[in-house]
Amino acid sequence: MPAPPDSKRVVIVGAGPGGLAAAMLLAAAGCKVTVLERQPYVGGRTSTFEADGFRFDLGPTFFLYPRVLESIFAAVGRDLHQETTMIRLDPQYHLVFGAGGEIKATPDVERMEREIAAFSPRDALQLRRFLDDNRVKMNAFRTVLESPFLRWRDMLSPRLAKMLPILRPWLSLDGELKRYFDDPRVRLAMTFQSKYLGMSPFNCPSLFSILSFLEYEYGVHHPVGGCGAVSQAMARVAESLGATISLDDEVEEILFEGRKAVGVRSRSGVHHADALVINADFARAMKRLVPNHLRPRWSDRKIARKRFSCSTYMLYLGIEGRYDDLAHHTIHLADDYHANLDDIETRHVLSDDPSFYVQNACVTDPSLAPPGKSTLYVLLPVTHQHSNVDWAREAPRFRKLALRQLAKIGLDDVSERIVFERQVTPADWDQQHEIHLGATFNLAHNLSQMLYLRPRNRFEGLESVYLVGGGTHPGSGLPVIYESARITSRLIGEDLGVPVVVDGDVSDRRATAVALVGVA
């Protein structure tokens, strides 16, 4: 369905989740959309790769709060759940504490109360209050997350001021959870989700208690085929609506007339644009594509002074045989969790006892591996690129440590069962995947880098330049990245005089849209 010849031209740099969502919305509105992607595949980090019959998610491994993407699909006349299959997990994940004890986190509140009661009967009585309070917080703050912050007065609105007693921005996430739970392990169970933002719960703003609430309220989902299957579905829909997606087509230069972007030059040639959407890593794109003098608020010097998230060390392992007694998601939290986080965020060194996460997706989705085999996705949060860590020297040692750590969740025979292996370090995220400092969760989400103080969806100081992705408002994580695409698409529609519909009705679909399964 090609756009009419006189349609407004939109060029999107990057086919990550935000870029694909914007492509869907803008193509459905009749814009002539061209997506230019550096890699030979769509999805950015929300993609999958295949090797020797194994299929791995590169980055995100689960789907949280699907309402936003459901709404985007509905806005363009499609149903997310007809394009992909989502399985809601129960248990959602298995938490193993280095300090002792474990929790099989379940959305069944009564069962979860029993899990918590094993640590603290008093804390178990607080779970419903925590969920009820965060339901109020989420409903109050959702309009903020769905709105652009383009002017200082947006920060000073009476609406936002009324929310301060609910949001309690003077508290850290852990400080907020102390209002409910005494046992530090129970608080960790409800705050480790700050790692989805690449932050420590002891520094992360209290607002983000809504992350754990969203898990229990709306579920943790596995898309069959991996999260990359969702990106592929989005690309199919965008193309069916008339968008052009050009792969292996790196953008080399943004073309400016004064402060106005009028197009780009990529490997395939010059592409003129009435609006330019940048979906690449924010800091890397600024430094490579926008001349320093055109971005005084985000100059190279100022970017260097910003706080960036942690990075991740990854092992993607093809395994002979299966681990049917291992949960789909397992998180091991280090005995000295504070020290591990300080190593990551303050000292910028590698821990001797790091926390780690393992996805054993074949217990839910056997299609990800050949018959009789399985995949293990192993992630260890680590410092972003820093002079203290030379990954060329440290990677072999840290690999051995990572494999030894797996014994702490009962996996003591992994090394001899590996038949495929890929390793990704922060240096690889930086150099191969073009992520500034290898900071996989982008700019940190401290209060001085949120809302108006984060790079804006209509990028300040330039004309016709817009941002989507984790580096702009509302922030990192798939639901809010999709939300950034809705905000940005709405702004482009207003600026170009194009009627862009960004919110479809999903109220009748959500209750029956996902399957609920038990996972060992």
What are the tens digits of pLDDT across the range 80-90?
999 999 999 99
Greater pLDDT, 4 or 296: 296
Whether residue 258 contacts residue 91, with contact meaning beta carbons closer than 8 Å, is answered with: no
Question: Rounded to an integer, what distance in angstroms lies between the CA atom of residue 447 and that of residue 87?
Answer: 34
Span 481-510, pLDDT tens digits: 999 999 999 999 999 999 999 888 765 444
- Which tokens belong to 15? 């086919």
Indicate if the pLDDT at residue 270 is higher than 90.
yes
One-letter amino acid for residue 152 of the chain: W
Query: To the nearest whole percent, how much of the chain has pLDDT over 90?
Result: 76
One-letter amino acid for residue 123 of the chain: D
pLDDT for position 508: 43
Span 67-122, pLDDT tens digits: 999 999 999 999 999 999 999 999 999 999 999 999 999 999 999 999 999 999 99
pLDDT for position 5: 66
- CA count, 13 A, side-chain hemisphere, 281: 25
Greater pLDDT, 167 or 15: 15
Q: 254 by DSSP, 3-state: which?
A: strand
Q: Which residues contact 164 (CB under 8 A, 6 or more apart)?
A: none
Indicate if the pLDDT at residue 127 is higher than 60.
yes
Nearest to 411 by CA among 346, 499, 481, 319: 319
Distance set, CA 255 to CA 241, 266, 460, 462 (Å):
27, 11, 17, 12
pLDDT band (50, 70, 90) for residue 517: very low
pLDDT band (50, 70, 90) for residue 333: very high
Q: How far is CA 182 from the centre of its chain?
A: 29
Nearest to 19 by CA among 36, 4, 1: 36
pLDDT for position 513: 39
* Whole-number average pLDDT of the chain: 90
- Output the pTM of the full model: 0.92
Indicate if the pLDDT at residue 30 is higher than 70.
yes
- Which tokens belong to 304? 């260097």
pLDDT band (50, 70, 90) for residue 384: very high
